[in-house]
Amino acid sequence: MPDSGLCLEALSALSGCNVASTTGPSPLSPQDFVNIVALREFYKQQGLQQLEYPGVGALSLEEREDPELYSSPPALTDAPGPQESLRASVKINLQEFFHPKFNYDFTSVQDGNTVFLRGNERYFRPCGWNRVALRVKQKYDGNDCWLGTGKDAWPVSYHAPNMDGSLGIILTHDGSLGHEPGFLDAAAASLTAGFTKGRGVYSTPDIKMAEKYCKVFKSKVDGKMYKVVLQNRINPENRKKCQREDVWLVYVPEGSNPIQTRAIVQESIRPYGLLLKQL
């Protein structure tokens, strides 16, 4: 497993919080982190300035360009920097949060033409990345089939926080959204303007696309630059395919309140790996 401090920095980069370790219970689970990462981008799409999340409070959605700002918080003996002091602080229990038994180092792996399947859909493994496994087995109602390799498994998706509707995506009209107000108008507008924004949370089955939109941070552990992406399973019943085959959308209907929106994300996307790649 990569250095625990590096993993905390990666979680800080993804969530926009100062993430530190604790020996006590973790107030946030891996599911909470994917919720926060997904909801941050969704609420930015809606033009909001902050996200309220239970147990964390108000999270600023302001984008910070300096990768140094994504580093982990300083030691307790050091005074926090002006930007770090403005960020919410959360603590996690490393033993409760990570599952080292299922770590996998893909940094030297090349799959070539080998095809892998998850839920009868192609799984593009994260070759070139180091995966830190999250402790998610037996954390959800039912069994762990969603995490398996059989026909009942959920497909794999990668979430990069900077993926949004600005990619110029429209939903394919498969009938499931036929009654959504404005769908046909949005589709027509895309033909003239060249793009439209699907309302919801984006992810991709293609790790190469996720890498283009991932977070980058400079580590205080070793001074090196890293990319970070979340590896998830996505509920095939809640996923909407987009005009681009390499982009999937979890649709959030108009009028959904914050509790409903969070529930949609939580029922649709489950994280199981933190991916790190050194630049």
Contact indicator for 28, 56 with CB cutoff of 8 Å? yes
Please tell me the predicted confidence (pLDDT) of residue 71.
Answer: 42
pLDDT in tens, 144-156: 999 999 889 999 9
pLDDT band at 224 (very low <50, low <70, confident <90, very high): very high
> For 63-72, what is the mean pLDDT?
47
pLDDT for 44 beyond 90: no
pTM of the predicted protein model: 0.83
Structure tokens at 123: 């799984």
Would you list the domain boundaries of the chain?
4-278
Average pLDDT over residues 38-64: 84
Q: Is the pLDDT of residue 79 over 50?
A: no
Can you tell me the distance from the alpha carbon of 209 to that of 163, in angstroms, rounded to the nearest whole number?
Answer: 9
Q: What is the share, in percent, of the chain residues with pLDDT greater than 70?
A: 79
Residues 6+ apart with CB under 8 A from 154: 118, 119, 146, 147, 233, 234, 235, 236, 270
- Structure confidence at residue 120 (pLDDT): 86
pLDDT of residue 184: 42
